[in-house]
C-alpha cells in the first residue's frame, strides 16, 4: 500500500453564489496523519472534503496533494478516495464487486478482482460475505465494505465524511478503534470529518475545529481540549463552564478578570491569545467541570468560586453538581468517584477551588451553543 | 345488515366493473371459435379453429404484423434513447429552466397524433426535397417516417417512466464511481445504466405497445409499409371476419402470458431474496438452495396451468375437424331456407290464385338472431354481397324476388366465408 502524502489547503475560499461556505482556510496535513475536521452541522466540512476530492472547484486558493497543485484535476485522477456520508455502495453489485470496482475500471480480470476483494474482506473481518448484496449487510458491515472499497483503489489520501454517524453508540465506539487500527496498518493519510468531538479526540493526530466556514483552531487533541484558541473551540469541544467579565490586570500569561458573578478570578491566557488581552476588555474564562475540587465553604481568593447548588446527580464514575452560574447557565462540577460519600448539598452555598493553569482566559466571543 | 348490504353492493360494483373491462374481450374471443362468417358469439353454431388458419393465410395481416414489429423495434430503440437523454438532461439542467424544459418535452403527448403525423410528413418531405432526394429515398420511406413520427410522442412517455426512476437515483453513486477512478462514460455504463435497467425495460415495453397500437400518426406516414392497425382498419372497412377476432385472441393470450411470466419472475426474485436474507454465511457459501419454482408463487402456478391449457388447445385444434358440424348446420339451414321458400311459394301461389292486386315481395326471410348481424354485414361487407349473389347458394332461392335482399342472405351463406376469409 502506498505511503500517505501530505495535503495542503492554501487560502481556500469556497462560495455558493453569495454564500461563503469556506472562508480562507489554511491547513497543512502531514503525510500519514489521521486528521479530523470537527465542527457543527452545516459549517462546511463536507464542502472542504468535496473540494479535496475534486468534486468542487475552489473559488479561490489552492489544494495541494503531495505537493502537487490539484487545480483542474478531476476526481478520477486524484490520489484520493472518499467515503461518502451515506456510503454510496453500489446497490446492484455484490459486496466483492463493490470492493473491487476500482480494479474493474482498470480492466483487471474477474479472478484478480475476486482475489483482492477476498483479501480486503478478510482485513475487515467479513470473510465469506463477498457474495451478498450491500442491502443484506448490517450497518457496521456496510461501513467496513465502504472502507475496503476505498482502500482497494490504493489511494494516498482517504477522505471520510462522518462515516460513523449512522451507527449506534456501541458500534460507533468499536469502529473508532478499528478505523484507527486500519489507518496505522495501511499508513496512508486519513482526513476525517465529524461533528462528534469524542470521535475527533480519540482518533486524530490533529484536529481542525470549524465554525461556519472558518477554521478556529488546528492542533492535536490535547491542545484543543486544554488550550482552546477561541470561545467556540472551548465550548464546542467537551463540556466547559464559562465565566464572563472584564480584564482587570494582565501579567505575562496570567490575567485577572473581574467576573460578573464570582468576584475576581485568576486565569491563564490561552496560548493563541497571549498578548491580545488588555485591561478593560471583555473576557471569558473557561473551566472544565472536572477541573474543580471542593474547598472549605467561605474560602475566598482569586481561584475560588462560591455558588448555590441547584441540582445534583450521580453518574457512576462522577458525581455532578450544578450551581447557579453566570447568564442563566449553570456551573457544572464533576467530582470523580473514589468511593467517598456524597452528601447532598442542595440549596446550600458551596465553594470550589481550581488550579489557575486549568482556567483558560480569552477575549469574549461566540460560544458553540449560542 | 347494513354492512352486508355494502358488501353486496361492492361485489356488484366490482362485477359490473370487470364485466365492462373484460366483457368485450371475452365475447370477441368467443367469436374467434364460432363458425359463422360474421363474428358472433350467440347463436353458437360450431366450434372451429378455422379462423386461426384463415388468419395465418392472410398475407396482408401477416405483412402488417411484420411491419408493425419492424416499426415497433425501431420506435423502441429511438424512443428509449431519446427518452433517456431527455430524462438525464432534466436532472442536469439549470434548476430554473427545469419547469420550462419539462413542459416542452411533455408537449408532444398533448398534441393530437393526427397533427404529429401530418407535420412529420410535411417536415421530412421538406427535408427530403432540400437535400435534393427523390421520392424513393430513405427519408421518405414509410418505415422511417413512421418510426420518426411515432417516436415524437412515444419518447415523451419513455421519458416520464425514466424520470421517475432517475429521481430515486443517488448522484453520490456516480460520484463514488468517479472517485474510484472511473471515467464519466464508465460511471454511466457500470453504475447508472444498471440502475436504470428496469425502467428502461418497462419504457421499452410501453414504447412497443404504444407503437403497435398506434393509428392516428401512422395513418399519415406508413407509405408502402402498412402496419397491423392500418391493415385492420382497412379490412374492417370492407367487412369484418372472425379471423380478426382470432388475432385479437392471440394478442390477449400473449399479453396474459407475458404478464404472468413477469409476475412469476418478480415473485421468484422476492422469494430468493427472502431466502438469502435468512440464510447463514455457511449456507450462502455452500451453494444456495433455491425454493422450488412453484412454491408460494401463484403467478408461476397460473403460468404453468395456462401453458398446459395452451398445449391442450393446440393439440385439439390440430386434430379437431368441425366439418361434420358445419355440414350439419348448413344442411339444417338449407332445410329451413327451403321450407321458408316453400312457404313463400305457397303463399304466392295462394295469392296468385286469389288474383287479387299484385303485392311486392315479402320482407327477406331471416332468423331473429341473424337479423342484426345481417344488417351490419350488409354495410361492411360488399364482398360477401357479391359472393352471395354469384354463388348459387341454397338460400339464394329464398330471396328471389328482390335483388337488394341478397345481401342479407349472403351473410348466412357458409360459402361466403371463403370470400371474406381470404
Ligand atoms: N451546492 C450547494 N449550494 C449552495 N449551498 C451549499 C451547497 N452545498 C453546501 N452548501 C451550504 O454550505 C454550507 C456547508 O455545507 P456542508 O455540507 O459542507 O456542511 P457540513 O459541515 O458537512 O454539515 P453536516 O455535518 O450537516 O454534514 C451549508 O450551509 C450548506 O447549506
Ligand atoms: Mg456533511
**Same-domain pairing of B257 and B222:** no
Q: What is the pLDDT of residue B296?
A: 67
B364 assigned to some structural domain: no
DSSP B364: P
CA gap A257, B21 in Å, rounded = 87
- Yes or no, beta carbons of A75 and B178 under 8 Å apart: yes
Q: What is the pLDDT of residue B10?
A: 92
**Same-domain pairing of B118 and B221:** yes
Cβ-Cβ contacts under 8 Å for B245 (sequence gap 6 or more)? B28, B29, B31, B32, B39, B51
Per-residue pLDDT of chain A in tens (370 residues, 90 and over written 9): 456 789 999 999 999 999 999 999 999 999 999 999 999 999 999 999 999 999 999 999 999 999 999 998 989 899 999 998 888 999 999 999 999 999 999 988 999 999 999 999 988 888 888 999 999 888 888 988 998 999 899 899 999 998 888 778 888 888 888 888 888 888 899 999 998 888 899 999 999 999 999 999 999 999 999 999 999 999 999 899 999 999 999 988 899 999 888 889 999 999 999 988 989 999 999 999 999 998 888 888 888 988 889 999 988 889 999 998 776 788 999 999 888 877 788 888 889 999 999 999 999 998 887 5
R_g over Cα of chain B:
30
**Same-domain pairing of B77 and B204:** yes
Of the candidates B274, B303, B320, which is a domain's last residue?
Answer: B320
* A125 close contact with B: CB closer than 8 A: no
**Same-domain pairing of B64 and B183:** yes
Coil, helix or strand for A228?
Answer: coil
Q: What is the CATH number of the domain that holds B207?
A: 1.10.3720.10
Neighbours of B44 (CB within 10 A): 12
B38 assigned to some structural domain: no
* B193 close contact with A: CB closer than 8 A: no
CA gap A59, A210 in Å, rounded = 19
- Nearest to residue A38, comparing CAs of A238, A230, A192? A192
Q: Where are the beta strands (DSSP E) in A6-142?
A: 7-16, 19-29, 34-38, 60-65, 68-69, 80-83
CA gap A164, A86 in Å, rounded = 10
Coil, helix or strand for A51?
Answer: helix
Neighbours of B3 (CB within 10 A): 7
What is each CA distance from B152 to B81, B89, B207, in whole angstroms? 12, 17, 11
Contact criterion met (CB below 8 Å) for B421 and B54 = yes
Q: What is the pLDDT of residue A290?
A: 93
B135 assigned to some structural domain: yes
Q: Which domains does chain A have, with CATH numbers?
A: 7-226 (3.40.50.300), 239-363 (2.40.50.140)
Mutant choice from B179, B192, B283 vs A, greatest count of A C-beta within 10 A: B179
Q: Nearest 5°: CA angle at B225, between B224 and B227?
A: 140
Residue A161 CA to ligand 2 center (angstroms) comes to: 6
Q: What are phi and psi of A190, to 5 degrees?
A: -110, 130
Q: What is the pLDDT of residue A134?
A: 92
Q: What is the pLDDT of residue A86?
A: 86
CA gap A10, A21 in Å, rounded = 15
- Yes or no, beta carbons of B176 and A88 under 8 Å apart: yes
Give the DSSP H/E element, type plus range, for residue A293. strand A292-295
**Same-domain pairing of B139 and B258:** no
Residue B279 C-alpha, separation from nearest chain A C-alpha, in angstroms: 10
| Region class of A331: left (phi > 0), else alpha (psi between -120 and 50), else beta | beta
Write B198-201 long-range contacts (CB < 8 A, 24+). Answer: B198/B165, B199/B161, B199/B162, B199/B164, B199/B165, B199/B166, B200/B80, B200/B84, B200/B162
Q: Which residues of B touch A88 (CB under 8 A)?
A: 170, 172-173, 175-176
ipTM comes to 0.82
Task: Give per-residue burial for A280-296: e unless 16+ CB within 10 Å, then b.
Answer: eeebbbbbbbebbeebe
How is residue A174 written as a grid cell? 468499536
Q: Which of A47, A164, A166 to mutate to test the pocket of ligand 1 (most atoms within 8 A of CB)?
A: A47
* B175 close contact with A: CB closer than 8 A: yes
**Same-domain pairing of B86 and B218:** yes
Nearest CA in chain B to A53: B179
CA gap B383, B416 in Å, rounded = 9
Residue B28 C-alpha, separation from nearest chain A C-alpha, in angstroms: 44
CA gap A280, A97 in Å, rounded = 65
B420 assigned to some structural domain: yes
Q: Between β-strands A282-287 and A241-251, what pairing exists: parallel, antiparallel or unpaired? A: antiparallel
Low-confidence ranges of chain B (pLDDT < 70): 1, 277-296, 356-422
Coil, helix or strand for B378?
Answer: helix
**Same-domain pairing of B310 and B343:** no
* B286 close contact with A: CB closer than 8 A: no
| Region class of B292: left (phi > 0), else alpha (psi between -120 and 50), else beta | beta
B25 assigned to some structural domain: no
B12 assigned to some structural domain: no
**Same-domain pairing of B206 and B339:** no
**Same-domain pairing of B165 and B182:** yes
Q: Which residues of B touch A120 (CB under 8 A)?
A: none
Provide the terminal-to-terminal Cα distance of chain B, rounded to the nearest Å.
59
Contact criterion met (CB below 8 Å) for B186 and B177 = yes
Ligand 1 nearest-atom number relative to CA A45: 21
Nearest CA in chain A to B275: A136
pTM over 0.90, yes/no = no
Q: What is the pLDDT of residue A370?
A: 55
**DSSP per-residue codes, A189-218:** EEEEEES-HHHHHHH-SEEEEEETTEEEEE
Task: Give per-residue burial for A98-116: e unless 16+ CB within 10 Å, then b.
Answer: bbbbbbbbeeeeeeebbeb
The partner residue sitting opposite A76, judged by closest CB among B170, B178, B191, is B178
- Nearest to residue A276, comparing CAs of A230, A233, A308? A230
**Same-domain pairing of B255 and B345:** no
B401 assigned to some structural domain: no
Q: Which residues of A touch B177 (CB under 8 A)?
A: 90, 101, 105
Domain of B262, in residue numbers: 241-320
Of the candidates B320, B342, B371, which is a domain's last residue?
Answer: B320
Domain count, chain B: 3
**Same-domain pairing of B226 and B251:** no
Q: Which residues of A touch B170 (CB under 8 A)?
A: 86, 88
Neighbours of A61 (CB within 10 A): 17
Nearest CA in chain B to A151: B180
* A101 close contact with B: CB closer than 8 A: yes
How is residue B83 written as a grid cell? 427518452
**DSSP per-residue codes, B167-226:** TT--HHHHHHHHHTT--HHHHIIIIIHHHHHHHHHHHHHHHHHHHHH--TTHHHH-TT--
B314 assigned to some structural domain: yes
Contact criterion met (CB below 8 Å) for B38 and B411 = yes
Cβ-Cβ contacts under 8 Å for A114 (sequence gap 6 or more)? A96, A100, A130
Of the candidates B205, B240, B275, which is a domain's last residue?
Answer: B240
Provide the terminal-to-terminal Cα distance of chain A, rounded to the nearest Å.
45
Q: What is the pLDDT of residue B406?
A: 39
- Nearest to residue A257, comparing CAs of A269, A245, A273, A272? A245
CA gap B145, B221 in Å, rounded = 6
**Same-domain pairing of B344 and B311:** no
Amino acid at each position: 500500500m502506498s505511503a500517505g502524502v501530505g495535503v495542503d489547503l492554501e487560502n481556500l475560499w469556497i462560495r455558493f453564489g453569495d454564500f461563503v461556505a469556506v472562508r480562507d482556510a489554511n491547513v497543512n496535513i502531514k503525510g500519514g496523519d489521521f486528521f479530523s475536521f470537527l465542527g457543527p452541522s452545516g459549517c462546511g466540512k463536507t464542502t472542504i472534503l468535496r473540494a479535496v476530492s475534486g468534486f468542487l472547484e475552489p473559488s479561490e486558493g489552492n489544494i495541494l496533494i503531495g505537493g502537487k497543485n490539484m487545480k483542474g484535476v478531476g476526481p478520477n485522477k486524484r490520489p484520493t478516495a472518499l467515503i461518502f456520508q451515506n456510503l454510496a455502495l453500489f446497490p446492484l453489485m455484490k459486496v466483492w464487486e463493490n470492493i473491487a470496482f476500482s480494479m474493474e475500471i482498470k480492466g483487471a480480470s474477474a479472478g484478480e478482482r475476486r482475489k483482492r476483494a477476498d483479501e480486503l474482506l478478510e482485513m475487515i473481518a467479513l470473510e465469506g460475505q463477498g457474495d451478498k448484496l450491500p442491502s443484506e449487510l448490517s450497518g457496521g458491515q456496510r461501513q467496513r465494505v465502504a472502507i475496503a472499497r476505498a482502500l482497494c483503489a490504493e489511494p494516498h489520501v482517504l477522505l471520510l465524511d462522518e462515516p460513523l454517524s449512522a451507527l449506534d453508540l456501541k458500534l460507533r465506539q468499536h469502529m473508532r478503534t478499528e478505523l484507527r487500527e486500519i489507518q496505522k496498518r495501511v499508513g496512508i493519510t486519513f482526513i476525517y470529518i465529524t461533528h462528534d468531538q469524542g470521535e475527533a479526540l480519540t482518533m486524530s493526530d490533529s484536529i481542525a475545529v470549524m465554525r461556519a466556514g472558518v477554521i478556529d483552531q488546528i492542533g492535536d487533541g490535547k491542545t484543543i481540549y486544554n488550550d482552546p484558541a477561541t470561545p467556540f473551540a472551548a465550548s464546542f469541544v467537551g463540556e466547559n463552564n464559562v465565566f464572563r467579565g472584564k480584564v482587570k490586570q494582565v501579567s505575562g500569561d496570567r490575567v485577572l478578570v473581574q467576573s460578573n458573578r464570582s468576584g475576581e478570578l485568576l486565569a491563564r491566557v490561552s496560548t493563541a491569545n497571549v498578548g491580545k488581552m488588555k485591561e478593560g476588555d471583555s473576557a471569558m474564562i473557561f473551566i472544565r467541570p472536572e477541573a474543580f475540587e471542593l474547598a472549605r465553604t467561605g474560602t475566598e481568593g482569586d481561584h475560588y468560586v462560591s455558588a448555590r447548588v441547584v441540582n445534583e446527580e450521580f453518574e457512576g464514575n462522577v458525581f455532578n453538581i450544578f450551581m447557579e452560574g453566570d447568564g442563566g447557565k449553570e456551573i457544572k462540577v464533576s467530582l470523580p468517584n473514589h468511593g467517598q460519600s456524597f452528601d447532598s448539598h442542595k440549596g446550600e452555598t458551596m465553594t470550589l477551588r481550581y488550579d489557575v493553569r486549568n482556567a483558560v482566559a480569552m477575549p469574549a466571543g461566540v460560544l458553540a451553543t449560542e | 345488515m347494513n354492512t352486508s348490504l355494502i358488501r353486496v353492493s361492492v361485489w356488484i360494483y366490482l362485477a359490473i366493473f370487470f364485466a365492462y373491462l373484460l366483457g368485450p374481450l371475452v365475447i370477441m374471443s368467443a367469436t374467434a371459435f364460432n363458425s359463422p362468417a360474421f363474428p358472433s358469439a350467440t347463436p353458437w353454431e360450431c366450434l372451429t379453429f378455422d379462423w386461426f388458419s384463415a388468419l395465418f393465410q392472410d398475407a396482408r395481416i401477416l405483412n402488417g404484423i411484420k411491419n408493425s414489429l419492424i416499426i415497433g423495434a425501431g420506435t423502441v430503440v429511438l424512443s428509449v434513447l431519446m427518452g433517456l437523454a431527455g430524462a438525464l438532461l432534466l436532472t442536469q439542467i439549470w434548476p430554473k429552466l427545469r419547469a420550462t424544459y419539462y413542459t416542452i418535452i411533455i408537449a408532444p403527448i398533448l398534441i393530437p397524433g393526427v397533427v404529429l403525423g401530418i407535420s412529420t410528413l410535411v417536415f421530412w418531405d421538406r427535408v427530403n426535397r432540400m437535400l435534393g432526394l427523390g421520392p424513393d429515398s430513405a427519408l421518405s420511406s414509410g418505415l422511417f417516417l413512421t418510426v420518426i413520427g411515432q417516436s415524437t410522442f412515444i419518447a415523451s412517455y419513455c421519458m416520464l417512466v425514466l424520470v421517475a426512476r432517475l429521481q430515486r437515483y443517488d448522484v453520490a453513486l456516480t460520484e463514488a464511481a468517479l472517485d474510484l477512478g472511473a471515467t464519466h462514460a464508465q460511471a454511466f455504463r457500470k453504475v447508472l445504466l444498471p440502475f436504470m435497467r428496469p425502467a428502461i425495460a418497462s419504457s421499452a415495453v410501453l414504447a412497443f405497445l404504444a407503437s403497435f397500437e398506434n393509428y392516428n400518426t401512422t395513418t399519415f406516414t406508413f407509405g408502402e409499409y402498412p402496419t397491423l392497425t392500418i391493415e385492420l382498419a382497412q379490412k374492417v372497412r370492407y367487412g369484418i371476419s372472425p379471423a380478426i377476432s382470432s388475432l385479437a385472441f392471440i394478442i390477449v393470450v400473449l399479453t396474459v402470458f407475458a404478464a404472468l411470466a413477469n409476475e412469476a419472475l418478480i415473485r421468484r426474485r422476492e422469494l430468493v431474496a427472502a431466502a438469502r436474507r435468512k440464510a447463514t454465511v455457511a449456507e450462502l457459501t455452500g451453494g444456495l438452495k433455491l425454493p422450488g419454482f412453484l412454491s408460494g408463487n401463484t403467478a408461476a402456478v397460473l403460468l404453468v396451468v395456462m401453458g398446459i391449457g395452451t398445449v391442450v388447445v393446440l393439440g385439439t385444434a390440430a386434430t379437431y375437424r368441425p366439418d361434420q358440424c358445419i355440414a350439419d348446420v348448413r344442411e339444417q339451414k338449407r332445410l329451413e331456407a327451403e321450407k321458408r321458400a316453400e312457404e313463400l311459394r305457397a303463399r304466392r301461389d295462394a295469392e296468385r290464385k286469389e288474383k287479387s292486386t299484385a303485392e311486392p315481395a315479402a320482407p327477406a326471410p331471416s332468423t331473429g338472431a341473424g337479423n342484426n348481424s345481417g344488417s351490419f354485414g350488409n354495410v361492411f361487407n360488399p364482398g360477401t354481397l357479391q359472393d352471395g349473389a354469384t354463388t348459387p347458394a341454397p338460400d339464394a332461392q329464398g330471396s328471389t324476388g328482390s335483388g337488394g335482399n341478397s345481401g342479407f342472405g349472403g351473410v348466412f351463406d357458409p360459402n361466403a366465408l371463403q370470400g371474406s376469409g381470404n
